[in-house]
Structure 1
């Protein structure tokens, strides 16, 4: 008869903590987002979420990795996107990085990974026409297939990025249409000031347009929603964060003596070209969203009208 042996229970060592998912948190800038893409290749990881640190909401059991912005790594990723996917894809990446959509960072990451992997499958050494091709001579990705991944709008990674980038592009067009400048002068300063309230942080995307329009006239475009100011000194433009500094306009000079005259002339012109018989408020709100009205000179009451109403 076989004898049974009893063994004492051995104490179990503490199991190491295992994370099934990882999320990348960056500083919210384009450079930080592209650095996160670079780090994912460097660490051989595929994060589930890529989002600004202020907006990231970790999932249950998800490890959060803070990504430190590295401009050199970001520039390498951007050059790679331009080289393999074309300038249109690089522009879409820039626009999506400025969006307020919480999934914008993840959309950019998934698109770049998909586009890079798709381009690798179209290498010249795997092409049947590599001997007769007049491209690179059979080395590297096929130059004729550049940009093909971004045109595949049916793929979820492309469709998500395209939708976000298109929304940001529409917001840029709204800012180009509805930005109204005031002439400020005093204490040796002579500049133009515009206050905007976009849905996305589009000031970096529209500064080049207004620099071309304004010439050598210094100006400031202040995004009161994202607390960001684009400053042009007549030669170069740069971005200034106003977070925690209160209202920027309080620290600026007052309106020039002729600003009230110009504003009233603009309101008079706006009223004179309107046709009361064709007034359509719904169509007006469609082409001119109501959230822009508070910063539009033509829709503000003149000081004389306000004094008359007070009486």
Structure 2
């Protein structure tokens, strides 16, 4: 049977809309593809899906009957992996049919659980390793480039932890960020040049970096240094965020 490709805009609501269309039109052989990854296929029928918040909400309300599973669906979407839509659709179809959201013998359900574990580790590390720099305008800024799109998952943590200071966390890999204005979190689109950050920093930041460096060196015991263990707890790819490792 000829496959039908459903092409959506890459948003979570767009994906849910596409899933709604699969059910509404009873498409037996659907393939949901993010627009930026779409490659023309002579043997497949294509259908552009336009995001419909009402349809997306209906699917999401259905999934919320299974709280843990719905969370894995959202987190799996944030992995940005090219095959995510296929596994998400299959997992949803299986769970809604069987009402069993924890059957890890089903490959799609297992795959989403594995992705959720991976993105959970990335979320935890971002919350642990993000470091803010104070700017001349008294805005605190942090630069990150996580493997997965975890900013939506860490926003609440930083809002609660730094409730008394304005901050922005910039994902310069994805050109957007989360901005906190002492009241609420806003997602902002940014065209950010990290090379220009140093000129905008508060003069005290240089001394903070030097203090971190001195503290890090003075508290280290050379005879007990275990580089392998250290890198297990603080992988090298996160060092660029740490003042003691990579000061601006």
Per the normalisation by structure 2, the TM-score is: 0.91
Task: Please say if 1:180 is aligned against 2:131.
Answer: yes
Moved more, 108-117 or 277-286: 277-286
Q: Which moved more, 1:61-70 or 1:249-258?
A: 249-258
1:110 to 90, 94, 102: 90
CA RMSD of superposed structures (Å): 2.2
The structure 1 segments of at least 4 consecutive aligned residues displaced by more than 4 Å after TM superposition are none
Shift of 1:282: 2.4
Q: Deviations over 1:49-87 (max 9, x none)?
A: 32321123455512222211122222221111112x2x1
Aligned partner of 1:247 in structure 2 is 193
Distance 1:150 1:277, change over 3 A: farther
Equivalent residue, structure 2, for 1:88: 68
Question: Of the two, which has the highest radius of gyration?
Answer: 1
Distance 1:237 1:118, change over 3 A: same
CA distance in 2, matches of 1:272, 1:29: 48
Using the TM superposition, give the Cα deviation of residue 240 of structure 1 relative to its aligned residue in structure 2, in angstroms.
1.7
Q: Which runs of 5+ in 1 are unaligned?
A: 1-18, 120-148, 303-311
Question: Matches of residues 118-267 of structure 1 in structure 2 within 5 Å?
Answer: 118-119=98-99, 149-186=100-137, 190-242=138-190, 245-247=191-193, 250=196, 254-267=200-213
Structure 1 CA distance for aligned equivalents of residues 74 and 42 of structure 2: 31
* 1:288 CA drift (Å): 1.7
Compared CA separation, residues 257 and 99, structure 1 to 2 (3 A): same
Give the secondary-structure state (helix, strand or coil) at the position aligned to 1:72. helix
Please tell me whether residue 269 in structure 1 is matched to residue 215 in structure 2: yes
Structure 2: runs of 5 or more not aligned = none
* 1:21-40 deviation per Cα after TM superposition (whole angstroms, max 9, x unaligned): 01222222211111111111
**In structure 2, what is the equivalent of residue 71 of structure 1?**
53
| Structure 2 CA distance for aligned equivalents of residues 194 and 64 of structure 1 | 41
Q: Does structure 1 retain, via aligned residues, the 8 Å contact 2:22–2:30?
A: no
Task: Give the CA deviation at 1:111.
Answer: 1.1
Contact 2:140 2:168 in 1 (8 A): yes
Paired position in structure 1 for 2:230:
284
Whether contact under 8 Å (2:127, 2:154) holds in the other structure is: yes
1:150 Cα offset (Å): 2.0
